[in-house]
Structure formats: C-alpha cells, structure tokens
Amino acid sequence: MDKLASATYPINELIARRWSPRAFDLKRRVDRTTLGTLFEAARWAPSAGNMQPWRFIVGVNFDRTHKAVLETLADGNQRWCMNAPVLFIAVSALNFPDEDKPNGHALHDLGLALENIFLQAVDLGLYCHLMAGFDPEKVRQSFGVPEGYQPMTAGAVGYPGNINDLSESLRERELQPRKRRPLKELVFTGSWENPLDI
Ligand SMILES: Cc1cc2nc3c(=O)[nH]c(=O)nc-3n(C[C@H](O)[C@H](O)[C@H](O)COP(=O)(O)O)c2cc1C
C-alpha cells in the first residue's frame, strides 16, 4: 500500500514515499546484503564532531534477538511488529568518548542516522516503522547495555504486507490520511512565528 505525502512543494521521491506501516509481509525475509546496506546508510550520517553516537541491536528473520527485542515492546506495538522480519533497538552513546562529558547532540545525531535507514529502506522496497513504545530498562537488562548509552527508539523493518491481515482497529489506523502542520507554522523569518513567505 502506498501512502504518498501530499506535499505542497515538490520533494524527493524517497521522502514522499516513506511512511510508517504496520502491515509487513511475514514470509519475505531480509537478506544479509540488504541488512548491510541499511546499516551502512546509517553509518554515513553526519554527526557533531563526527562522534557517530549511534549503536543498533538487531534481530533478524525471527532469530533469538528478534524475539528478545519483541518482548521489550509495548503490547500495542507487539501486535503488529511480530510480523516484521527485522526488529532493532537504536541506542545512543551519550558522552564524548575521550572527555567523558555529555554530547548534547547525541540524540539529534541518532535521529539523522535513523532517517538514513528510513530512506535507504524505501529505496530497497522495504519500510521502517520507529517506536517509542518499548521498555528501555528491559533492553538494558536483556542485552547488557552499559551506563552512558541510552536505548532511544525501537524499529521494525520489512517488506509491505497485506492490510487485510491486520485487526480492524489497526487497519483503520493504516488507512488514516497522513497529516502535517503547514509550513507557515514551522518556518520563520525575522522573529519567532513570523512565517517565511514561501
Ligand atoms: C521516535 C518515534 C516514535 C514512534 N513511536 C511509535 C510507537 O510506539 N508506535 C507506533 O505505532 N508508531 C510510532 N511512531 C510512528 C509515528 O506515529 C509516525 O511516524 C507519525 O504518525 C507520522 O506518520 P508517518 O511516519 O507515516 O509519516 C513513532 C515515530 C517516531 C519517529
């Protein structure tokens, strides 16, 4: 199912096509090269001081890690995520490694790496759906994440599935239109909330 962004200005096709589906094809596995490409894309994101604060714990094609990641997810997310062949936790290194002081842009930069994964996924015919609904403490315990690292976001990746395989309530959410604030609420000039004339 496509859910193209109804953009007011022309945007790159990958950005327009990316969205966050809940229906994944249970039978279609993700191969190693494809996985490598996804995380290679993350690796080439920019970061403050080139600190590359992103780390990923990845469960692949319903292996043990996949099961362990699934168990850290909120019930509402588990319901649809169990069909996604790749589940991951995105973790951020919080400090500068040498100076042991906080890297104020670490979470920002993890977001940049995740957007690379999103767009690379779309280019490969895959979709990625991120989740705040997971238990970071459970992630720490299950995978031995040390102090100084923050499990930030969970992600599901897979090939698009059939929305008729979803429950009725999830199917309804899947069919809801994508909404965005208008540009005038986001882009200012001169002073705060004075919209740039575009
Ligand atoms: C950091 C983050 C956390 C999110 N958490 C959840 C979640 O726990 N469960 C869920 O179903 N969707 C989650 N989403 C998906 C958002 O609801 C979705 O990106 C947003 O509604 C915009 O829709 P779109 O991605 O299809 O454009 C999350 C997205 C992000 C970026």
| Residue-wise pLDDT tens digits, 70-124 | 999 999 999 999 999 999 999 999 999 877 799 999 999 999 999 999 999 999 9
Q: Helix or strand or coil: residue 193?
A: coil
Res. 176 pLDDT band, cuts 50 70 90: very high
Q: Does 3.40.109.10 match the CATH number of domain 13-162?
A: yes
Q: Which H/E stretch holds residue 55?
A: strand 54-60
Strand partners, 55: 91
Ligand 1 pocket residue status of 20, Cβ below 6 Å: yes
Probe residue for ligand 1, chosen from 83, 108, 129 as the CB with the greatest number of ligand atoms within 8 Å = 129
Cβ-proximal residues to 112 (8 Å cutoff; 6+ apart), any chain: 45, 46, 47
Res. 1 pLDDT band, cuts 50 70 90: confident
Rounded CA-CA distance 126/148 in Å is: 32
Residue nearest to atom 12 of ligand 1 (CA): 131
For 130-142, how does the pLDDT look when each residue is reduced to its tens digit (9 = 90+)? 999 999 999 999 9
Are residues 57 and 155 in contact, defined by beta-carbon separation less than 8 angstroms? no
Q: Find the distance separating the first CA and the last CA of the chain, reported in whole Å.
A: 31
- Domain residue spans of the chain: 13-162
Distance of CA 96 to the CA centre of its chain: 24
C-alpha 129 – ligand 1 centre gap (Å): 7
pLDDT of residue 178: 95
pLDDT of residue 37: 98
C-alpha 133 – ligand 1 centre gap (Å): 9
C-alpha 80 – ligand 1 centre gap (Å): 13
Ligand 1 pocket residue status of 130, Cβ below 6 Å: yes
Looking at the CA of residue 3, tell me the nearest atom of ligand 1. Answer: 26
C-alpha 190 – ligand 1 centre gap (Å): 32
What average pLDDT does the structure give for the chain? 97
pLDDT of residue 97: 84
Q: If DSSP states are collapsed to H, E and C, what string results for 120-187? A: HHHHCCCEEEEECCECHHHHHHHHCCCCCEEEEEEEEEECECCHHHCCHHHHHHHHCCCCCCCHHHCC
Sign of the alpha-carbon torsion through 35, 153, 126, 54: negative
The one-letter amino acid at 39: F
Among the listed residues 99, 12, 100, 92, the one whose alpha carbon sits nearest the alpha carbon of residue 47: 92
The one-letter amino acid at 178: R
pLDDT at 47 over 90: yes
**pLDDT > 70: what percent of the chain?**
100
Looking at the CA of residue 134, tell me the nearest atom of ligand 1. Answer: 8
Probe residue for ligand 1, chosen from 131, 173, 174 as the CB with the greatest number of ligand atoms within 8 Å = 131
Ligand 1 pocket residue status of 121, Cβ below 6 Å: no
pLDDT at 154 over 80: yes
